[in-house]
Amino acid sequence: MIYLLAGNPNVGKSTFFNFMTKSHVHVGNYSGVTVEKRVHHIKHYPGANLVDLPGTYNVSPSAEDEGVVTYSLLHEDYKGIVNIIDSTHMKRNLHLSVQLLELGVPMLLVFNLKDALRNDGYVIDTKKVSKLLNCNAVSISSTKRDDNDDTLVAEEIKNMRAFKAIELDYPQAVTWGIQRIHDLLRHDTLQVKKKWLALQILEGNEGIFDQLDLVKADKIRQVVKEVEARVIKEKVALSLKGAIFNTRLEFIESIVDQSLIRVEQKEHSKYYKQRIDKALTHPVFGLPIFFTIMLLIYQISFGGIGLGTLLTTGFEWVWSEIVVQYTSSGLNFIGITGFAHGLIVDGLLAGVGGVLIFLPQILILFFLLSILEGVGYMARVAILMDRFLSKFGFNGKSIVPMITGFGCTVPAIMATRTIRNPKERLLTILTIPFISCSARLPIYVIFIGLFFNRYQAFVMMLIYLLGIFVMLVSAKVFSLSYFKGSGQEFILELPPYRIPQLRTISYQAFEKAKGFIKKAGTFILVGSVVLWIFSNVGPEGININQEDSFLSIIAGWVSPLFMPLGFGTWQATSSLIGGFLAKEIVVSSLIVLYGSQAGIAGAFTLVSAMTYVVFASLYVPCISAVATIRAETKSTKWTLFSIFYSFIVAYLVALTIRLILMIFI
């Protein structure tokens, strides 16, 4: 049995999905987190699955992610719909609910955030709502829920039953159009109520037309034009959509008036929250506040006396002095020496350990970022950046993929499905890889720790800002040519401030850490071993001088290309080639080829180190990101363009940085 989970963006849908299924999908206090449907078993309801659909304000798709909703309603074999509603924005949320209720399938309305609504001085009479809307209804708080809330909701889902579909009193012209289209669809094979399909078509749901044959579609479009003309001529509304919307709004206001009950208002800080919002989104002070917050986060994670640095130092000591030393002694004790000993200690342990030691810093960074996201601050950043981003050709919705990109480029590219305009979406996909993902963090940390020890947090922030700057400049250049005309404004709902659950943000941080460890146990482990073998095997045999190895010979053909950048050695070149598989391999490769961090420090100067970091932060995305670009754009041409363009830009920017540094240093 399948139940669809639907709702507006940012109503707590993913949080509800997590506690109802005991899963851990990403939760963010801003819209656009869910871009594809997710499926999981419902706790306390054996044999039932819940499908988490992307958030949408309307059944009619305005972007690819919202198209998933229309497709699921038409084709998914589901038993009912669970509709999550933000209790504090009941009137707005019910527009989607009415569209779903007109479908006439079993439905459960879950009014979320009842605690926030109570703080505003109201409660919802769910029995009244159930009677007025012909469906089941329940009120909960998914962030401050009772222990038995999941059991209560599971029982409500089990008891969900089909009611008669609600039928609103639409204007005569609209009713006439519904009947005409219904007659045209009489023999259609879609297993959905024909009157609902007709109403959706009149409302402008283009997703319906994808399911109709061309002849029938042409006749239906003609009916839509006739209805539109009648609505305007009879002065029912300024448009057909307006006539439908006004009828629903009148009905919804009646529901709210009858079911929203005023109670004794608790003391709350709404006034102070408005003052905070005014400061955080201020056109002048908003950005300095944001940069200050981020600098503080980087200081805690990567600063010389920051918590992340202290934990990393301890973890590094444990790895080198205990894990590596005892493993080496154990291998010697059982008689494993020579090539095999070097492969395990200098190849496998050194390569994997060279990346794993940065795990505490990465864990702390994403724990702090998850707090900002859960509180609702990232949505304020999106509001703050909207007007600024539009000047560079971005759609306002690009902010969600950008924020996601700081974690991983792959889901960031997938998150562009929320962008409706194809050119704006492509523009975002091509420039997102310039944002520094978590996989590049070990590169920054090791070089900053070795060469910029006194200003670690500041330099770290500059590297991130450089990536954002390159992304913006690239977008501006593109928007003046092929992507001319992009950058339309958007409306983003400002979510309420919420105290994030420690369990949720901890899990999100640990999930990222788990992914990091998984890469260390797969890509990085294999890459380190293969790299060590190729650097110790050559035409003359094994255990040879690394300068005579196969790796040195192969990388030597490419390394002259990087001579102008100051790191034209075969070791540095080899690490960058390995980074195409996974960015974490860059650090493990350097550790394996140079022997230690001290070896890396001796191979680079301050200028060449900075140039290397800049190039590594911008050059071609990893192979997983490239595959995602190909899947999302469905274009080999744009995929190849993204590879070559990012390489050329990285080279030119790194060369410019080198020339500037050589003047002042």
The verdict on 234 and 323 lying in the same domain is no
Q: Read off the pLDDT of each residue in 433-449 and give the average, rounded to a whole number.
A: 87
Taking the mean position of all CA atoms in its chain, how far away is CA 71?
Answer: 22
Other Cβ atoms less than 10 A from the Cβ of 166: the count is 17
Which tens digits make up the pLDDT trace of 187-208? 665 556 778 888 888 888 777 7
Parallel, antiparallel, or unpaired: how do β-strands 136-139 and 107-112 relate? parallel
Residue 28 pLDDT class (50, 70, 90 cuts) = very low
Q: Is the pLDDT of residue 398 over 80?
A: no
Q: Read off the pLDDT of each residue in 548-573 and give the average, rounded to a whole number.
A: 88
The verdict on 333 and 448 lying in the same domain is yes
Q: Is the pLDDT of residue 32 over 50?
A: no
The verdict on 255 and 324 lying in the same domain is no
* Token duo for residue 228: 């539109």
In a domain, 41, yes or no: yes
Residue at which a domain ends, from 158, 189, 218? 158
Q: Could you list the residue range(s) of the whole structural domain that residue 176 is in?
A: 172-262
The verdict on 212 and 351 lying in the same domain is no
In a domain, 27, yes or no: yes
Full-model pTM:
0.64
Which tens digits make up the pLDDT trace of 610-662? 999 999 999 988 888 888 899 888 899 999 999 999 999 999 999 999 999 98
Which tens digits make up the pLDDT trace of 240-263? 888 898 999 999 999 999 998 888
Residue at which a domain ends, from 104, 124, 158? 158
The verdict on 342 and 447 lying in the same domain is yes
**Span of 255-259, 461-465, 541-545, 594-598 with lowest mean pLDDT:** 541-545
The verdict on 350 and 207 lying in the same domain is no
Taking the mean position of all CA atoms in its chain, how far away is CA 14?
Answer: 13
Query: Which one is predicted more confidently, 255 or 212?
Result: 255
Residue 320 CB burial class (10 angstroms; 0-12, 13-18, ≥19)? middle
The verdict on 235 and 372 lying in the same domain is no
- 248: domain CATH number is 1.10.287.1770
Which tens digits make up the pLDDT trace of 471-504? 989 988 888 877 665 545 555 556 667 777 677 6
CA separation for the pair 512, 518 (Å, rounded) = 10
In a domain, 493, yes or no: no
* Token duo for residue 281: 């989104």
Q: How wide is the angle at C-alpha 113 spanned by C-alphas 112 and 116, nearest 5°? A: 160
CA separation for the pair 241, 313 (Å, rounded) = 62
CA separation for the pair 94, 87 (Å, rounded) = 10
For residue 468, give every residue at least 6 positions away whose Cβ sits within 8 Å of its Cβ, in sequence order, or none: 434, 435
In a domain, 497, yes or no: no
* Residue reference for tokens 């940085």: 657
Q: Is the pLDDT of residue 29 over 50?
A: no
**Span of 70-74, 380-384, 411-415 with lowest mean pLDDT:** 380-384
In a domain, 278, yes or no: no
List the beta bridge partners of residue 262. 122
CB 259, CB 139: distance < 8 Å: no
In a domain, 658, yes or no: yes
Q: Read off the pLDDT of each residue in 352-377 and give the average, rounded to a whole number.
A: 77
Q: What is the mean pLDDT of the chain?
A: 81
- 30: domain CATH number is 3.40.50.300
CB 85, CB 94: distance < 8 Å: yes
pLDDT of res. 153: 82
Q: Is the pLDDT of residue 302 over 90?
A: no
Which tens digits make up the pLDDT trace of 88-141? 888 889 999 998 888 888 899 999 888 878 877 888 999 999 888 888 888 887
Which tens digits make up the pLDDT trace of 125-184? 999 998 888 888 888 876 565 556 777 788 888 888 767 778 889 999 999 998 888 888
Query: Domain total for the chain?
Result: 3
The verdict on 142 and 189 lying in the same domain is no
H/E stretch holding 598 reads helix 597-603
In a domain, 507, yes or no: no
The verdict on 357 and 467 lying in the same domain is yes
Q: Read off the pLDDT of each residue in 533-553 and give the average, rounded to a whole number.
A: 81
The verdict on 147 and 255 lying in the same domain is no
The verdict on 142 and 217 lying in the same domain is no
* Token duo for residue 86: 């933000």
Residue at which a domain ends, from 211, 227, 262? 262
In a domain, 491, yes or no: no
The verdict on 114 and 194 lying in the same domain is no
